[in-house]
Structure 1
């Protein structure tokens, strides 16, 4: 994922942090809140310029968080664990269910560079013309454009929260010059915020970006450290296909052993070995049908 030409290499423990005044200050006016969200986005942009951050993995994990927020907005009970299961334990020809569809939409939206074609793949029920209109709905600063895209979708279809939030994040990415959508808005908004319009909605979006920008920066730093450790232990892995397996772990929020390019038993042994080395974690808490992730 390309955010800047001059990508940086460095110690993951020294990733730049968001200044404390960005989150400690309680801003009330639209101008003050916009200033803070701009600072959060500037800091996030710097972090995303670094190639020691596993960008695809970061997007995939943020997609899970965004899907969880959207499922919560709809009143459904599924949380991260159930959403992972809805996708990773899906059998051929099965349908993922409503919550799984939400998760699939976010994953598809975040995994490819922003384009109308890619967004239509993530939102097949939204016509390409509607996607183009939403992306072009706003002008001005990035968060304002994202808020206008969200408002345009929700004005036309008040219950289309998933489509609106995905297209709002896409508009934000385009305005910032990012190649890929980074899911940030959904995790910082409340259900009541989605009923707001005009300046009230813009204010909510600025606050959401400030809060989510901080969380995304922290997550990027954590994943950079974990990715560095996984790469450092990779030479200790002797299984054929281990290198490809490590590459998969560095791009996906969760991985089932069956998804690795190894025989079933060898894949399970590799996952257990990586857990023993502290390079990945078992995410499901089960004895069978386990999922692993960095």
Structure 2
């Protein structure tokens, strides 16, 4: 197993460049099992959220792993329902309790709607109190970034957004460069897009390097300075996903992959009605 490299965030913390995502893994024992497998295979970065309803199983897997806490990077996220200073303060405590942790390495505002400023203030306060090491945002487009980020005293260490070779977020990355904010990719494999996985250039590179298409995509993203955490519940895939640190794509190959960018993804946070739809999607207090 190759050791996983880190990126330095704008607050000085070192985040593992590669991790394990738990979105849509149910809390019926599946999350605990998948995270335990990932940790056993060498992963040291786990991404969850209040709205994934599986923080407790993530915490169980970490507690039972025998790995020292400081060696595991844990990310979770605050749901819209808990925005505003007071509600967010409670939401942070709830995440800590469910995870069974004294601190969370990275805590994000999951969606950029509602009382974002109040929620961010709660994150800043929790960071100063040592309950969160790094704070960040998620799903912020250039438009939303320019609306909210100028108001923040502490600039986000991370913005977690949709990112893959077909949607490379170039205008957003230019804005984020000003605050040295790191991009994290959700759907780094295009949510299993058959078109992306069978993209001729990616298939050619896979054949050249003796890798699969997913590994070429994840390597491209890593070399682009993006934090990735693909999700799988299958041990062979969990193992193969992280097997991307024993080769490097050449500059011309990176340039060719950059040219695959289509400039848009599946999710548009700026679209009308998205905020209302997400706020009514489920009740994180019903756990």
Mark yes or no: TM-score above 0.5: no
Calculate the TM-score normalised by the size of structure 2.
0.31
Larger-Rg structure: 1
Calculate the TM-score normalised by the size of structure 1.
0.30
Higher strand share: 2
